[in-house]
Structure 1
Amino acid sequence: MAFFAAAVSSLLSQQAAKPEMSTRETPPAFQLKVERNLVVVRVIVRDREGRVQGSLRKEDFGLYDNGKPQTISHFAVERAPGEPTPAAIASGGKAQEGEAGVPSMSTPRRFLALYFDDVHLDLQDIMTSRDAAETYLKKSLGPGDRAAIYTSSGQVALDFTSDQDAFHRTLQRLLPRPVGDLTADRNCPDIGDYQAYMIVMEKNPQAIDVATEEGFECNCRGLPREAQPQCRADQQRDAYSLAVHVLNLTQDNAEYSLRGVERIIRRMAVLPGQRTVMLVSPGFMTASQRQHLNDVVDRALGSNVVVSTLDARGLATDPAIATSAMNPVIPMDRPDLANLKAQILIQREFWTQDPMTTLARDTGGVFFHNSNDLAQGFLEAGALPEVSYVLTYSPTNLKRDGRFHTITVKLANRGGLEVQARRGYYAPSKTQDAAAEEKEELRGALFSQEDVNELPSDLRTQYFRLSQSQARLSVFTHVDIGSIHFAKENGRNLDQLTILVAVFDENGNIVVVKQKEVTFRLRDETLDRLRKSGLTARTSFDVKPGSYLLRQVVRDGTSSVMSGLSRSVQIAF
């Protein structure tokens, strides 16, 4: 009995010795790939004249997943950027050199990534599109804008800047850089990317018949009649082998293009402000890579990146008209083969344009095509819609089977309006990591440009000069503890706050991020005092003089509510 009493006394002493509140700095983890049980749908609504409608409310929308109505869990209205958010004026103790918080009009508010698909573009299309791009950058890039130039081959790149000379030098380096030559083995039979897909993936008998007869016409027609049947069989076998080769090259080239878009979205996810990718391409085949295309759309929506697309070929020509010129080997006495080839080419046009259409439609962008006025195309692709609506829902009874789900957005009692929204998504195929989801929520809030006010908080700043080229910037995070729900255990009030503060330079590049974990084990009387005064935590950074954007995120561990604030600061002495 005495031993038990001593043990209890020892345990109580240990609990009493634990601090009521402790703070530790931890490294943030931001580069995570998370599959959520949430679907994001960006919607743009236009009238018959194409004017964007901005007065709709949550109750005006109906959302359906595979035909079943869904509950919209989050609704937001996003508008094109206006004036920059005024900087917070620093308050509190007097700093040695001055207070941070002077508005910086040069802080970027819009980031544009020009992405040239040099894996698929030919030289003529590159020359035309790069001239239009240079004109666009000269005339349309404002003081609050930064642009970057990337390529699908990865051999030419320029990170975000406003340097017009750098734009010119980089654009002049653009050249076609295909991954393997799709035309090298396509003399006879002439098997293109979509016909190869039909032969290998769809086992389409008509597609293989066209290729076999083309090969027979080239290689067997002059042989003795008795040798022709075997030659025809050889041509069918060779046509299939060639189709496999062409399809592999097609998939490799498409992967380069899709991975490039994905890399740019990852890069832009860490930038504040509005973010737009402009993909310049003739189109490419993704019929066998629909899941990857869907993943790119999901990443863009989750990172608040709009993808617009431009068809660099300009005014479209009917592929069926050019069939005879492209395939002179089709015998004149086989009009059925010529018709089949024409149908294949027409279908190919749809499939090569599909990723361009999907990326633009599903992310809220513009698909500019069938026009030689690429200068106008860049203007339209670079202009964000005046208003877009972001709907988020958690699918009811979602099975993690990797299957495609159709999405339908309907408007209630709003006749004459057109809806632009994604057509569907692929269900995840594995269980989610809850801890990874929390980290992804923090990452998303940190790199967002929107204020989040679920948890009342504020920030103020001070700086001190350390040397002629260095200053210490202090960020004071104030949180209203009165709105937090604490868990009760052994007479203590338990909770944990996560505080993230990031510093971005004037080009939107992240300079440094610091994360603090504040752990509470509060007595009732201490909690009462904090409810009145609130909690203030300081995060310090050593920085050079210049213009910066601060982003602060606070997350409550018990309720998962967050706050997010952005402030411009100018450090000068």
Structure 2
Amino acid sequence: MNDHSRFASPFTRVRLVRTAAAATCTAALLLAAADADAQRNRRRQAQPQFSDATTVTVVEVPVQVISSGAPVRDLTRDDFELLDGRRPVEITGFDLVDLSLVEGKPTQKQIPVAARRHFLLFFDLFFTAPDSVGRAQQAAADLVLTSLHPTDLVAVAVFDTRPRLVLGFTSDRSQLRQAIRSLGQVQVSETVVRDPLGLVISDIGAALAAGDEVAGGTQTAGGIDAGAMLSETRRELQNLQEQAERGNEASRIAAMTQGMSALSDWMASVEGRKHVVFLSEGMPTRVLYGNQGLTDEDRASLLADSEAVIQGRTQEVDQQSTFGDSSAQSAMERMLRQFREANCTIQAVDVSGQIAGEAGSRRGSLLQMAKDTGGEMFSNFTNLGDAMEEMLERNSVTYLLAFQPGNLKQDGKFRRLRVRLKDAPRGTQVVHRPGYYPPRTYEQTSPFERALGSAQAVMGGVETGDIDAAVLATGFPADSGKAYAPVLITARGEDLLAGVEGSVLPIEIYAYALDEDGVVRDFFSTRMGLDLAQAGAAIRQSGIKYWGHFDLDPGTYSARVLLRNDITGRRALVTGVLEVPGDGTVLQPPLFPEPPTKWLLLREDPSEQRQDVAFPFLLDGAPFIPASRPEVARGGEAQISLVAMNLAAGAVSVRAQVFGPDGEEVTQGGEVALDQSQASGGALSRLNGKFVAGKKLDPGDYTLTVTVTDSANGQHSSSTPIRVL
């Protein structure tokens, strides 16, 4: 029987002032995983990021350079000129991402979020017939599952009577397959835990019933026969009817453009180069453009209108049918401008299955959307991935430029950017974001935008933020079911409290476990309000430590945790490698006991805790709570516990290596000395000893890697971040 009283005793009982639960987003817009800790440190130093509460603004500008239809590679920082308005600015950051050189698993390579390709699959259920929705689903599946790069982030959204996000930006192809198949039509049990960031949707038991979400059907223009044109009375009646139908179509177009304008606002909060893959039959062209894109029946009607004008019967002629609806045109132009300013192209996909002559009255709107945002239109294709191959190749090389704007006014105005290529050959095309807005304060963003930004940070996997935080994730076998993976998260109190003026500290925690293919295998989240009258002193002294857990099958995972103050918007994203044991040998990260009184200790709700597992952290039979990021004095020593599964029985040896933030090993950085009579054996081995830090280590953050060699000469390594005081 497990001793749960010892398990719970160190955790402080604090009055939690529960914040109002945010309405669950069906998804949020929004990969890269854990390289070695040293590489993560280098990336964090090299890549400037927007921060919710920083006084220095860094603008990142993704750029593609195309010549003769192919991307130009091997350019350097010195090849570019960057202008903020008319003023040349210094390029303070530079990176190159060439997807042809990024191979392997999605979580094996860190790519700056702003340099990653983002594709939003946007299904139009408003103007698209049910049969065409099925073609759109197949086209999207072909694109995602066969043509996109593993590091591409993809989201799914639909428009029925308003835009709805089904799945946030993710590299998880299994979730995308389900989202494309369901288009959000999922019946969710009350017992299912919903993902507040929309990176996970529920399992799907049935495919989408075609056409269930098409609101009001699709408008089709009625034909005009020869007899009707000979009757002036019938023509007048028909004009009235057509005006009413066009008014309805104009209202529907207004709803669509308004919804897409909202979508462009959401996309503007996503960093990087974005593509909306708009799967639609198009909007009624005649409402937008009048007599452009006419069918044969339209042309016959136009001849009759011309005859009526010649004979002075102008009352029979509908002016909007000739020149188009000006309000609809203006709304369309505003919407497309918003997409351009959001650095988002529309790749329009005609899913009608019709040839050009049959679809001409609708295809014009798709062509305008693509042309005016720098995208392309695709029609009459067999496989959408094949049709988009050239576009995908042109966008496979991204140069990420960064600069710091001077004297930036928080006036909400759009700032235009220009990127020039020095000595560029004739015909070279430079594609870049057209400009930027000054960053808004956290209070100015909507809950949806906050969730979207959080989801993108989690899937990006690049450690960043303005809260000093750390995470420790370990895996232990369980007597039944999946393995138990406790996750310990710490956050510095002064950072959490900065800017908080009230009596409650609202904290949000989102934690995800991604496998090597970028698939989210488990997650947990919590929103809490800490009563500062009771807990403020403890938080100020050090900070908080939160204990959650994943339930996972054996394997290697990237644990990603986003922690945020929901008043100030200050946040941190921290990551760690998680090894869940199976039949093979696994060495967990080195564990350093620390006093339970050091932090304000909090734990997941009792209903969420595993009751079938023993307390996992023991030192000579006594329970302890390990540090998420151990701290040790220069030349000092600290207790250490090495937990291994399935080591060969017998004597072991241990080697320690300390790496600096640059990834270089520090000579005489430290050593591990095991206590006497330490040996491995059985399914679970606990090797206890001391870590002695090198006397020449400067204060700062390092990575400690420990390698255990067992009696069968098997070498097994694991790492943990450490801080030298």
What TM-score, normalized by structure 1, do the two folds share?
Answer: 0.52
The 5 Å alignment of 1:112-191 reads 114-122=121-129, 125-126=132-133, 128-136=135-143, 139-140=146-147, 151-153=158-160, 162=174, 173-175=209-211, 178-181=214-217, 183=219
How many residues matched? Answer: 438
> d(CA) in 2 for partners of 1:568 and 1:372?
46
- Cα deviation 1:59-102 (Å, max 9, x = unaligned): 945354xx565979995747346445879xxxxxxxxxxxxxxx
Cα contact 1:116–1:152 (8 A) shared by 2: yes
Distance 1:359 1:39, change over 3 A: farther
Match of 2:561 in 1: 552
1:248 counterpart residue number: 251
1:504 to 508, 513, 521: 513
Tell me what 1:47 maps to: 66
Corresponding position of 1:493: none
- Greater relative contact order: 1 or 2 (C-alpha under 8 angstroms, separation 6 or more)? 1
1:82-140 residue CA offsets vs partner (Å, 9 max, x unmatched): 445879xxxxxxxxxxxxxxxxxxxxx99976443232234675465444445445644
1:292 aligns with 2:238: no
Q: Percent identity?
A: 12
Seen in structure 2, the aligned counterparts of structure 1 residues 178 and 374 have a Cα distance that, compared at 3 Å, is same
Q: Is the 8 A contact 1:180 1:249 kept in 2?
A: no
Shift of 1:510: 5.7
- Contact kept in structure 2, 1:134 and 1:167, CA below 8 Å: no
1:179 alignment partner AA = A
Please, which of 466, 479, 487 is the counterpart of residue 467 of structure 1? Answer: 479
Cα-to-partner distance string for 1:222-244 (whole Å, 9 max, x where unaligned): 59xxxxxxx97x99887765554
2:551 to 543, 547, 553: 543
> Which amino acid in 1 is paired with 2:561?
Q
Distance 1:339 1:470, change over 3 A: closer
2: CA distance, partners of 1:85 / 1:321: 44
State the AA in 2 paired with 1:48: S
| Corresponding residue for residue 100 of structure 1 | none
Q: Is the 8 A contact 1:312 1:374 kept in 2?
A: no
Q: Are the equivalent residues in 2 in contact too, given 1:70–1:393 (CA < 8 A)?
A: no
Q: 1:339 to 1:39 in 2, by over 3 A?
A: farther
Match of 2:475, SS state, is: strand
Taking the TM superposition and a 5 Å limit, the aligned residue runs for 1:356-375 are: 359=339, 362-363=343-344, 367-373=375-381, 375=383
**1:512 Cα deviation after fit:** 0.4
* Contact 2:79–2:422 (CA under 8 A) maintained in structure 1: no
1:44–1:420 Cα contact (<8 Å) kept: yes
What code does the residue aligned with 2:297 have?
A
**Is 1:387 aligned to 2:398, yes or no?**
yes
Tell me the CA shift for residue 511 of structure 1: 1.4
Give the superposition deviation at 1:48: 2.7
1:114/1:147 contact within 8 Å kept: yes
1: CA distance between counterparts of 2:264 and 2:155? 24
- Alignment correspondent of 1:62: 82
Report Cα offsets for 1:363-390 as digits up to 9, x if no partner. 3675341553352235567776332537
Greater percentage in helix: 1
Matches of 1:434 and 1:149 in 2, distance apart? 22
Structure 1 residues 44, 238: CA separation in 2 closer, same or farther (over 3 Å shift)?
same
CA distance in 2, matches of 1:538, 1:472: 16
**1:25 Cα shift?**
8.3
> 1:407·1:425 contact (CA, 8 Å) conserved in 2?
yes
**Cα displacement string for residues 236-295 of structure 1 (whole angstroms, at most 9, x for unaligned residues):** 88776555433223233x1xxxxxxxxxxxxxxxxxxxxxxxxxxxxxxx2x66752541
Show CA shifts across 1:287-308 (max 9, x none).
Answer: x667525413324x25x68333
Matches within 5 A, 1:100-115: 114-115=121-122
CA pair 50-520 structure 1, distance change in 2 beyond 3 A = farther
Match of 1:12 in 2: none
Structure 1, unmatched stretches of 5+, are 1-20, 88-108, 190-216, 224-230, 255-285, 488-495
For 2:436 and 2:462, the matched residues in 1 are separated by: 26
Tell me, in whole angstroms, the C-alpha distance in 2 between the residues paired with 1:188 and 1:124. Answer: 26
What is the distance in 1 between the residues matched to 2:121 and 2:215? 21
Letter in 2 for 1:62: L
Q: Which amino acid aligns with 1:118?
A: L
How high is the TM-score relative to the length of structure 2? 0.43
SS state at 1:329 partner? helix
SS in 1 for 2:251: helix
Does 2:306 match 1:334?
yes
Tell me which residue corresponds to 1:200: none
Matches of 1:368 and 1:438 in 2, distance apart?
28
Alpha-carbon distance change, 78 to 431 in structure 1, aligned in 2, over 3 angstroms: same
- Secondary structure of the 2:343 match is helix
Contact 1:446 1:500 in 2 (8 A): no
Structure 1 contact 306–363 (Cα < 8 Å) conserved: yes
Structure 2 counterpart SS, 1:245: helix
Pair 1:446–1:58, CA change in 2 (3 A): farther
Cα distance change on mapping 1:154 and 1:345 into 2, 3 Å: closer
The amino acid that maps onto 2:254 is Q
1:545/1:456 CA distance change after superposition, 3 Å: same
Deviation track 1:506-549 (CA, whole Å, cap 9, x = no partner) reads 43266103579898969xxx99xx9xxxx995634252435543
Check 1:44–1:543 CA distance in 2 against 1; reply closer, same or farther (3 A cut).
Answer: same
CA separation of 1:392 and 1:385: change in aligned 2, threshold 3 A? farther
